[in-house]
Amino acid sequence: MTPLAAGTPIEHAGTANTAARAPQLVFDHVNKAFGRSDGSSALALADVSLSIDDHKFVAVIGPSGCGKTTLLRIANGLIAPDSGTVSVKGRPPVPGPDTGFVFQGFRLIPWATVLGNVEFALETLDLSASERRDRANTYLELVGLTRWATSYPGQLSGGMKQRVALARALAGEPQMLLMDEPFASLDAQTRELMQIELLHIWNRRKPTVLFVTHSVDEALLLADTVVLMSTGRILEVIDVPLARPRQLDAARSDQDFITLRNHLWNRIRDLVLTDPASAFFGRELNQ
Amino acid sequence: MTPLAAGTPIEHAGTANTAARAPQLVFDHVNKAFGRSDGSSALALADVSLSIDDHKFVAVIGPSGCGKTTLLRIANGLIAPDSGTVSVKGRPPVPGPDTGFVFQGFRLIPWATVLGNVEFALETLDLSASERRDRANTYLELVGLTRWATSYPGQLSGGMKQRVALARALAGEPQMLLMDEPFASLDAQTRELMQIELLHIWNRRKPTVLFVTHSVDEALLLADTVVLMSTGRILEVIDVPLARPRQLDAARSDQDFITLRNHLWNRIRDLVLTDPASAFFGRELNQ
Amino acid sequence: MASASRTNQEYSALTIAATRIGFLILLLALWWLASINVARNIIPSPLATYHAAGRLFSEGRLQQGLLDSVTVYLSGYGIAILIAIPLGVAMGAFNLFGRTLEIYVYALSATPRVAFIPLIIVLLGLGIEAKVFIVMLGAVMPILINTYAGVRQADPELIEMARSVGAGRLRIFSRIVIPGAIPYVIVGLRLGATIGLINTVVAELYTAVSGLGGLLAIYGNTFRMAEYFVIVLCLAAIGVVVTESLRIIENRLGRWRD
Amino acid sequence: MASASRTNQEYSALTIAATRIGFLILLLALWWLASINVARNIIPSPLATYHAAGRLFSEGRLQQGLLDSVTVYLSGYGIAILIAIPLGVAMGAFNLFGRTLEIYVYALSATPRVAFIPLIIVLLGLGIEAKVFIVMLGAVMPILINTYAGVRQADPELIEMARSVGAGRLRIFSRIVIPGAIPYVIVGLRLGATIGLINTVVAELYTAVSGLGGLLAIYGNTFRMAEYFVIVLCLAAIGVVVTESLRIIENRLGRWRD
Amino acid sequence: SGTANAQSDEPFRLIVTHLEVPLVPNSVMDLAVELGYFEREGVDVELVRVQQTPSALAALQSGEGDMANVGIDALLQVINSGATDFRAVTSPNKSLPFLIASREEIATPQDLVGASFGVGRVGSLDHSLSTLVLASMDVDIEDTELVNLGQPNVRAQALAAGQIDATTMSIGTWAELPDTTGLHVLIDQDAYYEAAPVVNKVNAVPGNVLEDRPEDVEAVIRALVKISRDFAADPQLWVDAMSDALPQTDVAVLEMLADAFAESWSVNGGMSAAELSYTSDWLYATPDFSEIAPLELQDWVDFGPLDAVLAELGTEDAMDPADR
Ligand SMILES: Nc1ncnc2c1ncn2[C@@H]1O[C@H](COP(=O)(O)OP(=O)(O)OP(=O)(O)O)[C@@H](O)[C@H]1O
Ligand SMILES: Nc1ncnc2c1ncn2[C@@H]1O[C@H](COP(=O)(O)OP(=O)(O)OP(=O)(O)O)[C@@H](O)[C@H]1O
Ligand SMILES: [Mg+2]
Ligand SMILES: [Mg+2]
């Protein structure tokens, strides 16, 4: 557990063996602002520095609107920072099949079938048409949507759409996975299943994962490192000292887990309730 | 706790004093199917009978794609059942200001500002323009978006959009609230704040609430009654015997809570993993 | 089809056919009233028109005119489609290109086709090439302008998604932008079909006279209003056939909305 | 503006102006080449055209023609907008009404305006009423067809949301459906503007001859090609001014996309 | 109704199918306005300009005009189709000075065999006239490749662009062609008229105008006869008036045309019963009229107003015959 002051460069704050390997993803003093309708601009990322090693599973948590999605879009090279640099394996990030992105709003192609949506992500890969279909079907099976392969997104429930988006990102078998609240619309059990499948994949192929979640428990269950953000800043980068495989039931009684969970919980609570910059400054958490 | 066989008419299964009051919302043998692209049709609701008393807070849980959203749309009169009847206070449901709906996909008007989106829901009410504005601002304050009143939805993060949708549904101060995973995109703390605000409102004005959630804990924390669904059927309707006000931390050690939680958890787990109709039939929950 | 009509019923093909026929009867009644109330036979009666149609048909003039016009029309319209859709997409794809060209496109489409006829005669002569070109010139504009607008209207979130899976510009356009622009393109094709038809007549009047346009000129100049109306109705019918055929394409491409 | 151009850069107004002027110079060069290579003075040189413009301007004929034409044009176009948008919305709002009417709309828009001129003269005479009517008839179709398509294209999820808050049909249309159809309506207005202008010329040629259309006919018939080109360019310029003014409305209504 | 002065409350609308003062004797209508002839006869004439005869007739039918200068073929057609009250009352240019122009390679009419020949359309007046003219030169128009081209200016443009080899056009159109290198007049207007001596344009009025405004009709005819007589007497008057009206036109061209028109002024109203009968008989033999029952002269001509004018002004026997 390594709480850091906000904004401190943290290039060496990752795991112990950083020096031996080139970090996969590096943010260096990144700023990004968006124009607001009143002419002012909102700082979505403020002086963000972060270094993520290869094969790490990193969870990003923070209050609503703190810049998590923006962080992921910049990491993928979809938008450019206003200042500062981002690099993936030493190069500026380029979107492509090496990186899978699960978008918060799913972003399914409405006129493509479920299968077509997954296959779409595979077309950049060097696969024959039938290999592509097989691969897409494999991942549809994984998210439990085999029976819906020929349906259109408009015919799916919210959770089913999210699973299509998940299958699409996983099917490319990328080296880096950027996942923006990928399980938010899933019921608890399906979510658990998906967590397990994700860990399976991660164990097998060891992609670097940047995983935005609203669940502290989920973050602690899945991640090597938890990044805590607020109003565009990285407040803490915390290594999770729990042994794998982890079971949530078991973890809940683990003292490290409890300490960490309470720490994060209290930190976010403070950010939401007692930070004057928060919209909920001064609100009470009592009924 | 009153587990019931699936499909049994449960008109008298609500609270003890059902006979004394007309139930607010009654589903009677409701069926609803959607056409699928292969020409077959998927049963989204199968012989659903349910009766919800006035002023009750009812949580609906169930696996992804089991028909929860469909249930809410039918309860609001947005779509008609294929067979069976639905009634609100003895009449067929008519959408309007008496019922607030938080949609799963937010459904914000992209060309209206945040304030405009909330005001839109108030125009059916008998309010002057300034009263409408005040009311909208009050609820934007409640969801912590005062500073974003003049922004457009496209300029908001996922969680902020969800809060606009929440403010819109609450601002009408309806007698019935239909909420489809209304907190799914919120971080844990904001979610807690919103839960509290919702309970405040419920305590004060006592609307009937139908609340879809994926969190068993949230269901038990908020609801009088939990409805468990699977593949279009209502499997159980369970009264939550916990005294209010409830605190999640305290509840977690309450024996009733633990029993109920484990029951629901196991039931859903069974539905997802061991029901042959489930897409995940036979999957293991181990890493 | 997903549509505003979710606010009201979708009607069966039968109901629609019935109301259309009802409306047709109303139109015929109005026409008949007009024909007996306007002086000097300017409006022929429906019956006289019907007889004239029979005459023209049995003489074979109608068929010949139709054949000539339809050949010119479909060639010009087809070429217009082949030019307008790629150009519209390119204008949407390359922002600077599109923004540069667009005012010239508007300028050209605001200039009467008739104004170019001397030039067209010099360059393409009086034959079918000139006619096809004039039809193309008319039909190309609405298709181009609609396609361009549709492409610019593409969903930026889907495009970002496509970029993130590494789709190149070509694939983004063929799989995201163009399918998303289909409703615009279809409207453009509808309008192009109607304007193309109008320009067919213009072309047949202003270059070597032929086809339905030629018949229109003959009957117009000799005040044979019944025959004239037959040709006008014939043109309207072609317009309906072509625009309704577009519905088939539209429904096919819009299946996902069901 | 949100657009496919997210895949490429948005350029500054200055860059766009520069490339537009560059393209203009290219066009002028091509025109000049054509003028010296096409025989018999059919294409006047840019310089001759410039001089002709000066002559027409100092004689005051250009201004008078412009004034006449613009009056007819804007009246007809304005009436077309007032008719087409409500009608298009109504056709989208009342499904049966729309589906019934649409084929007649396509039929009418496929029929050359010229074909109705005798009737229009009989009913409305040769004066400004007839001209405005002809302009209206041309401009109304693209606006109507685009509006109708835009309304049918409305987002069913937003409509359901509006229904759920108790919005009546009127409010759903004014707040959800019509704003959603704006991009279509704008394209329709653009096309209507260009077709309206063409029809202004047609009207001025086929009823009492006047305005720019009249000048076009005079110079065309007397083979004064430099003057003829001045009028053609003048028409193109009006088209550009009107379609570019629509951009202001478009940008204003599309602010939320920023 | 009646013949009172109330007739002059509204302007008398005279519809012409040219857009500028034309380079033919038809110019008398425009020049009579310019030079105040109508005014002196006490009639307030307003010229309404339309492109073509059909528009002019439609305007007459709708009451948008009181008199229109139209082709006889169109007048006969429209009367046949129901406008039975229309009557020709005068002809300011009984025959348009037509000629056949061709490329220089076509040196004689015989060279037209196998060449392309532009006509308005098969059956149109210019086609029928050309047939007649070529026949008189022993050329069957069917031996040429006929191209239907519609409007006269399109025919001229097509000839100038080298897309056709020859066509009929008015002398005015020929004079206005900007560049006639490589082109020449194959058959000039005199030879043309000799071969095809038909009246082709008349001023027609609907029945209600004849009934309601007879004095105005007569005043218009009187003014036209007077100006025609003045021009016939002094061609320079026409040249001067035309150079005022069309300052950009070469005076030499005007003088050449004035010479050519010496015999063409309708000093007696241009309404010879014999010529009109000949014209209608000839028209009824052309393909366009094949299905139409011929009209008697009195069913489409009303000599009354013109005769009243001639009774007052006298007849000039040297010029166009006033036979009835
Ligand atoms: N418009 C539609 N067209 C076709 N099928 C539909 C449509 N809407 C829902 N369905 C189907 O109905 C079933 C129930 O869907 P519903 O949206 O009610 O599920 P849900 O319980 O809300 O799921 P989730 O938790 O994933 O949101 C699903 O199988 C879905 O595919
Ligand atoms: N396209 C945009 N235009 C304007 N502002 C934007 C845009 N995208 C994001 N923002 C702003 O940037 C900030 C960060 O947004 P971001 O989406 O990264 O938040 P987030 O952490 O993902 O929140 P959430 O958990 O609610 O999804 C917010 O204040 C948001 O309003
Ligand atoms: Mg986000
Ligand atoms: Mg749902």
pLDDT, tens only, D95-105:
889 888 988 99
Answer for the pair A163, A187: CB distance below 8 angstroms, yes or no. no
Our CA dihedral for E276, E279, E284, E285, rounded to 10 degrees, sits at 150
Q: Is B232 in the pocket of ligand 1 (CB under 6 A)?
A: no
- pLDDT for B285: 66
Query: Mean pLDDT over residues D156-165, rounded?
Result: 94
> Does B158 score more than 80 pLDDT?
yes
- pLDDT for C37: 80
Residue at a domain's end among B173, B195, B221: B173
pLDDT per residue as tens digits for the range A38-93: 667 778 899 999 999 989 999 999 988 899 999 999 999 999 999 999 999 888 99
Query: Mean pLDDT over residues E101-112, rounded?
Result: 89
Residue at a domain's end among A173, A189, A205: A173
Confidence of residue E160 (pLDDT cuts 50, 70, 90): confident
Residue D157 CB burial class (10 angstroms; 0-12, 13-18, ≥19): middle
Query: Mean pLDDT over residues E173-183, rounded?
Result: 81
> Which residue has better confidence, E287 or D85?
D85
- pLDDT for E269: 86
> Which residue has better confidence, B274 or C107?
C107
The residue whose CA is least distant from atom 3 of ligand 2 is: B155
pLDDT per residue as tens digits for the range C164-217: 999 988 899 999 999 999 999 999 999 999 999 999 988 888 777 788 888 888
Nearest to D164 among B78, B109, B123 (CB): B78
- List the single best residue of C40, C69, C206 to mutate versus E (max E Cβ within 10 A): C40
Kindly report the CATH number that applies to the domain delimited by C42-257: 1.10.3720.10
In the DSSP assignment, the letter for residue B91 is B
- From chain C, the residues in CB contact with D166 under 8 A are none
In the DSSP assignment, the letter for residue A279 is T
Secondary structure E strands in chain B:
23-35, 41-53, 57-61, 83-88, 99-102, 176-180, 208-212, 225-230, 233-239
- pLDDT for D88: 94
Confidence of residue E291 (pLDDT cuts 50, 70, 90): confident
Question: How far is ligand 3, taken at its centre, from the CA of residue B186, in Å?
Answer: 9
Nearest to E165 by CA among E106, E99, E98, E100: E106
- The token duo for E137 is 């030169």
- The token duo for A211 is 């995983």
> Does D82 score more than 90 pLDDT?
yes
Question: Is there a cis peptide before residue A245, judged by omega within 30 degrees of 0?
Answer: yes
Alpha helix (H) residue ranges in B15-87: 68-75
- pLDDT for B18: 40
Work out the minimum CA distance from A41 to partner chain B, whole angstroms: 11
A184 within a domain of the structure (yes/no): yes
> Does B2 score more than 50 pLDDT?
no
Residue at a domain's end among B173, B201, B232: B173
Query: Mean pLDDT over residues B183-209, rounded?
Result: 90
- From chain B, the residues in CB contact with D163 under 8 A are 78, 95
Nearest to A101 among C158, C164, C253 (CB): C164
For residue D256, what is the nearest residue in chain B, using CA coordinates?
B111
Q: Does A207 lie in the same domain as A230? A: yes
pLDDT per residue as tens digits for the range A1-44: 333 333 333 343 344 444 445 678 999 999 999 887 666 777 88
For residue A36, what is the nearest residue in chain B, using CA coordinates?
B151
* B119-123, D161-165, D190-194, E81-85, range with the lowest pLDDT: E81-85
Q: Please, what sign has the CA dihedral across residues B77, B81, B85, B86? A: negative
Q: Does A269 lie in the same domain as A179? A: yes
The CA distance from D120 to D117, in Å, is 5
- List the single best residue of E49, E159, E179 to mutate versus D (max D Cβ within 10 A): E49
* C2-6, C232-236, D244-248, E288-292, range with the lowest pLDDT: C2-6
Confidence of residue D178 (pLDDT cuts 50, 70, 90): very high
Confidence of residue C7 (pLDDT cuts 50, 70, 90): very low
Nearest to A120 by CA among C162, D168, B242: C162
Query: Mean pLDDT over residues A220-230, rounded?
Result: 92
pLDDT per residue as tens digits for the range D25-41: 999 888 888 888 776 66
Q: Does B186 lie in the same domain as B138? A: no
Whose tokens are 């499948």? That residue is A197
- pLDDT for B120: 95
Q: Does B204 lie in the same domain as B71? A: yes
pLDDT per residue as tens digits for the range E297-323: 889 999 989 999 988 888 887 777 778
> Does E8 score more than 60 pLDDT?
no
- List the single best residue of A109, A175, A177 to mutate versus C (max C Cβ within 10 A): A109
Query: Mean pLDDT over residues E210-219, rounded?
Result: 90
Q: Does A210 lie in the same domain as A90? A: yes
Q: Does B183 lie in the same domain as B144? A: no
- Number of domains, chain A: 2
At B178, give phi and psi (nearest 5°). -110, 115
- pLDDT for A4: 37
Q: Is A37 in the pocket of ligand 2 (CB under 6 A)?
A: no
The CA distance from C236 to D16, in Å, is 42
Nearest to A62 by CA among A275, A284, A286, A283: A275
Confidence of residue A95 (pLDDT cuts 50, 70, 90): very high
Question: How far is ligand 2, taken at its centre, from the CA of residue A230, in Å?
Answer: 12
> Does C234 score more than 80 pLDDT?
yes
Nearest to D238 by CA among C103, C188, C149, C196: C103
Q: What is the largest CA-CA distance in chain C?
A: 71
* B63-67, B213-217, E262-266, range with the lowest pLDDT: E262-266
The CA distance from B269 to B266, in Å, is 5
- From chain E, the residues in CB contact with C68 under 8 A are none
- pLDDT for A15: 41
Q: Among residues of chain A, what percentage have pLDDT more than 90?
A: 55
- pLDDT for C113: 79
Question: How far is ligand 2, taken at its centre, from the CA of residue B224, in Å?
Answer: 35
Nearest to D156 among C2, C231, C237 (CB): C2
> Does B127 score more than 80 pLDDT?
yes
- DSSP string for E151-213: SHHHHHHHHHTTSSSEEEEEHHHHHH-S--TTEEEEE-HHHHHHH-----EEEEE-HHHHHH-
- pLDDT for B8: 37
- The token duo for A19 is 């020096």
- pLDDT for A81: 93
pLDDT per residue as tens digits for the range B79-116: 999 999 999 988 899 998 899 999 998 999 999 999 99
Q: Does A165 lie in the same domain as A35? A: no
Identify the domain containing residue A189 by its residue range: 25-98+174-274
Give the number of other CB atoms < 10 A from CB of residue B46.
17
Whose tokens are 């009492």? That residue is D208
Q: Is B164 in the pocket of ligand 2 (CB under 6 A)?
A: no
With a CB-CB cutoff of 8 Å, which residues 155-214 of chain C face chain A?
Answer: 157-158, 160-168, 171, 175-176, 179-180
Q: Does B48 lie in the same domain as B138? A: no
Whose tokens are 């076509």? That residue is E106
The residue whose CA is least distant from atom 23 of ligand 1 is: B65
Confidence of residue A168 (pLDDT cuts 50, 70, 90): very high
The residue whose CA is least distant from atom 27 of ligand 2 is: B158
Q: Does B140 lie in the same domain as B62? A: no
> Does C42 score more than 80 pLDDT?
no
Average pLDDT of chain B to the nearest whole number: 85
Domain limits, chain D? 1-37, 42-257
Alpha helix (H) residue ranges in chain E: 27-34, 37-40, 53-61, 72-80, 125-136, 152-160, 171-176, 189-195, 207-212, 214-233, 235-245, 251-260, 273-284, 304-313
- pLDDT for E176: 78
> Does E109 score more than 50 pLDDT?
yes
Task: Judge: E154–C224 Cβ closer than 8 Å, yes or no.
Answer: no
Q: Does A169 lie in the same domain as A180? A: no
Give the number of other CB atoms < 10 A from CB of residue C246.
17
Q: Tell whether B91 lies on the interface with A, counting CB pairs under 8 A.
A: no
Query: Mean pLDDT over residues D231-245, rounded?
Result: 91
- pLDDT for C89: 92
A13 within a domain of the structure (yes/no): no
> Does A163 score more than 70 pLDDT?
yes
The CA distance from E117 to E130, in Å, is 10
Q: Tell whether B117 lies on the interface with D, counting CB pairs under 8 A.
A: no
> Does B171 score more than 60 pLDDT?
yes
- pLDDT for C17: 87
Nearest to C80 by CA among C134, C123, C150, C153: C134
Q: Does A226 lie in the same domain as A87? A: yes
- pLDDT for B81: 93
pLDDT per residue as tens digits for the range C49-82: 899 999 888 988 889 889 999 999 999 999 999 9
- pLDDT for D39: 63
Q: Does B140 lie in the same domain as B110? A: yes
- The token duo for A123 is 């077309």
Q: Is A66 in the pocket of ligand 2 (CB under 6 A)?
A: yes
> Which residue has better confidence, E156 or C66?
C66
Average pLDDT of chain A to the nearest whole number: 86
Whose tokens are 């005869």? That residue is E53
